[in-house]
Amino acid sequence: MQEPMAITLQVASEPALPFGHGVGHDAQAAFPPELEWQERALCAQTDPEAFFPEKGGSTREAKRVCLSCDVRVECLDYALGNDERFGIWGGLSERERRRVKKRAV
């Protein structure tokens, strides 16, 4: 009989997605100052799954929401600075953010 495999879970000190979009944040807890922009994240009031579509899924609805979001610049800056790999941030997909980063180098 095989031994059961040990699984180790690592808990990041920084909040993981989808917190980055203000979703899942404890409304009673204050955001750290560098993340206060998330209090105004428009996506926190919408369907968070639209911002993390399945591979090949549509990003149109999420990008439409981003166009009206007051913290779009802060959100994109955060995503670029923290190398966010998944989802729509600041109105850009992962691929679009990679292009922005390449151009900045």
State the nearest-atom distance from the C-beta of 49 to ligand SF4, in Å: 13
Report residue 7 as tokens. 């699984």
State the nearest-atom distance from the C-beta of 51 to ligand SF4, in Å: 6
Specify the 3-state DSSP secondary structure of 102: helix
Task: Summarize as ranges the residues that interact with ligand SF4 (CB under 6 A).
Answer: 21, 41-43, 51, 65-66, 69, 71-72, 75, 88-91
* Residue with smaller CB distance to ligand SF4, 25 or 75: 75
Q: How far is CA 90 from the centre of its chain?
A: 9
* Residue with smaller CB distance to ligand SF4, 65 or 97: 65
Rounded Cα distance between 56 and 64, Å, is 17
Contact 37, 74 (CB under 8 A): yes
Q: How far is CA 43 from the centre of its chain?
A: 10
State the nearest-atom distance from the C-beta of 41 to ligand SF4, in Å: 3
* Residue with smaller CB distance to ligand SF4, 13 or 61: 61
